[in-house]
Structure 1
Amino acid sequence: MHHEFRRYWTTICHLGTNMRLLLAGAALLGLGNGIFMTFFNLYLQQGGLGEAFLGRLNSLGTIGSLALAIPAGLLVTRLGSRKSLVLSCALIAVFGALQANVLVPALLVVLQIGISASTMLYGATYNPEMMRSTDPGDRQVAFSLAFTTGTVMSVVASVVGGLLPRLFAHFGASPVTGLRLTLVVGAIFILASAAAFIHLREYQHGNGGQTVDASHSVQSEPEVTSSWKRFAVRYAVVSVIIGFGAGLSIPYLNLYFADRFHASTVAVGNLFAMSNVVLTVGVLLAPWLVRRAGLMRTIGVTVGGSLVFLVIMAFTHNIIIAALAFWMRAGLMMCSTPVTDKFCLELVPPDKRSVAHNIFMMAWTGSWAISTALGGWLIQKTGFALPMMLTAAVYGIYLAVFILSFRHHPTMQYPSSVCPATIPAQTD
Structure 2
Amino acid sequence: MPDQYLRTIRHFSRDIRLYLFASGLVGFCLFSGIYSLLFNLYLLRLGYGPAFVGQVNAVGGLAFALSSLPSSFLGSRWGNRRTMILGLGLAVVGHALLSQAEFVPTIHQQNFILSMNSLSLLGISLYIVNGYPYLMRVSSAAQRHHVFSLQAALFPLAGFAGSLVGGFLPGGFAGLLQLSLDHPAPYRHTLLCASLLLTPGVFALVATSQETREHQEDTPTDAAPLPLKLILLLSFIAFLYTASEGAVRTFLNVYLDDALNASTALIGTLAAAGQLLAIPAALMMPFLVQRFGRTRTFNGAVLCSALILVPLALIPHWAIAGLCLMGTMCLAGIRRPAFTVFQQEMMPLRWRTAMAGAAATMTGFGYAAISLGGGYVIEAVGYRALFLMAGCLTAFGAAIFWLCFRHRDDHGEAGSS
Please report the TM-score for the alignment, with normalisation by the length of structure 2: 0.90
Residue by residue over 1:311-340, the C-alpha shift from the partner in whole angstroms, topping out at 9 and shown as x without a partner, is 111121332233223322432354221111
Aligned to 2:49: 50
Distance in structure 2 (CA, Å) of the matches to 1:304 and 1:260: 27
Distance in structure 1 (CA, Å) of the matches to 2:318 and 2:332: 20
User: Of 159, 163, 166, which aligns to 1:158?
Assistant: 163
Q: Does 2:30 align with 1:19?
A: no
Residue by residue over 1:250-281, the C-alpha shift from the partner in whole angstroms, topping out at 9 and shown as x without a partner, is 41111121123211111111111111111111
Distance in structure 1 (CA, Å) of the matches to 2:127 and 2:29: 15
The Cα of 1:383 is off from its aligned counterpart by 2.2
The Cα of 1:67 is off from its aligned counterpart by 3.7
Aligned to 2:239: 240
**Structure 1 residues without counterparts, runs of 5 or longer:** 211-219, 412-417, 423-428
Residue by residue over 1:76-115, the C-alpha shift from the partner in whole angstroms, topping out at 9 and shown as x without a partner, is 2343333222211111111111111114101111112211
Letter in 2 for 1:192: P
Q: Does 2:328 align with 1:323?
A: no
Residue by residue over 1:354-405, the C-alpha shift from the partner in whole angstroms, topping out at 9 and shown as x without a partner, is 2221111111212321231110111122221110011111111011011112
Q: 1:304-315, aligned counterparts within 5 Å?
A: 304-315=303-314
Q: Does 2:49 align with 1:41?
A: no
Greater CA drift, 4-13 or 332-341: 332-341
Aligned to 2:260: 261
Distance in structure 2 (CA, Å) of the matches to 1:26 and 1:273: 17
Q: Verify the 8 A CA contact 1:245 1:391 in the aligned structure 2.
A: yes
Letter in 2 for 1:268: I
Aligned to 2:270: 271
Distance in structure 2 (CA, Å) of the matches to 1:28 and 1:83: 18
Q: Verify the 8 A CA contact 1:248 1:374 in the aligned structure 2.
A: no
Q: Verify the 8 A CA contact 1:84 1:122 in the aligned structure 2.
A: yes
Q: Does 2:194 align with 1:197?
A: no
The Cα of 1:9 is off from its aligned counterpart by 0.5
Aligned to 1:425: none
Query: Which portions of structure 1, spanning 4 or more consecutive aligned residues, are displaced by more than 6 angstroms?
Result: 220-227
The Cα of 1:120 is off from its aligned counterpart by 1.4
Letter in 1 for 2:289: V
Aligned to 2:105: none
Distance in structure 2 (CA, Å) of the matches to 1:370 and 1:289: 31
Q: Verify the 8 A CA contact 2:24 2:154 in the aligned structure 1.
A: yes
Please report the TM-score for the alignment, with normalisation by the length of structure 1: 0.88
**Structure 2 residues without counterparts, runs of 5 or longer:** 103-108
Q: Does 2:375 align with 1:386?
A: no
Q: Does 2:185 align with 1:177?
A: yes
Aligned to 1:373: 372
2:177 match: secondary structure:
coil
The Cα of 1:143 is off from its aligned counterpart by 0.4
Letter in 1 for 2:11: H
Q: 1:74-89, aligned counterparts within 5 Å?
A: 74-89=73-88
Q: Does 2:251 align with 1:252?
A: yes
Distance in structure 2 (CA, Å) of the matches to 1:12 and 1:261: 43
Distance in structure 2 (CA, Å) of the matches to 1:402 and 1:257: 32
Q: Verify the 8 A CA contact 2:344 2:352 in the aligned structure 1.
A: yes
Q: Verify the 8 A CA contact 2:88 2:126 in the aligned structure 1.
A: no
Aligned to 1:140: 145
Letter in 1 for 2:40: N
Aligned to 1:28: 25
Aligned to 1:338: 337
Q: Verify the 8 A CA contact 1:51 1:380 in the aligned structure 2.
A: yes
2:142 match: secondary structure:
helix
Distance in structure 2 (CA, Å) of the matches to 1:77 and 1:223: 14
Distance in structure 2 (CA, Å) of the matches to 1:421 and 1:267: 46
Aligned to 1:118: 123
Aligned to 2:298: 299
The Cα of 1:164 is off from its aligned counterpart by 0.8
Letter in 1 for 2:139: T
Letter in 1 for 2:405: F
Distance in structure 2 (CA, Å) of the matches to 1:328 and 1:225: 40
Q: Percent identity?
A: 25
Distance in structure 2 (CA, Å) of the matches to 1:143 and 1:292: 17
Distance in structure 2 (CA, Å) of the matches to 1:389 and 1:339: 25
Letter in 2 for 1:20: R
The Cα of 1:294 is off from its aligned counterpart by 1.6
Aligned to 2:194: 186
Aligned to 1:69: 68
Q: Verify the 8 A CA contact 1:222 1:346 in the aligned structure 2.
A: no
Q: Verify the 8 A CA contact 2:221 2:348 in the aligned structure 1.
A: no
Letter in 2 for 1:18: D
Distance in structure 2 (CA, Å) of the matches to 1:178 and 1:30: 21
Q: How many residues matched? A: 404
CA change 1:140–1:420 in 2 (3 A) is farther
Letter in 2 for 1:194: V
Aligned to 2:106: none
CA change 1:371–1:329 in 2 (3 A) is closer
1:201 match: secondary structure:
coil
Q: Verify the 8 A CA contact 1:245 1:368 in the aligned structure 2.
A: no
The Cα of 1:295 is off from its aligned counterpart by 2.0
The Cα of 1:296 is off from its aligned counterpart by 2.4
Distance in structure 2 (CA, Å) of the matches to 1:312 and 1:36: 27
Distance in structure 1 (CA, Å) of the matches to 2:162 and 2:394: 28
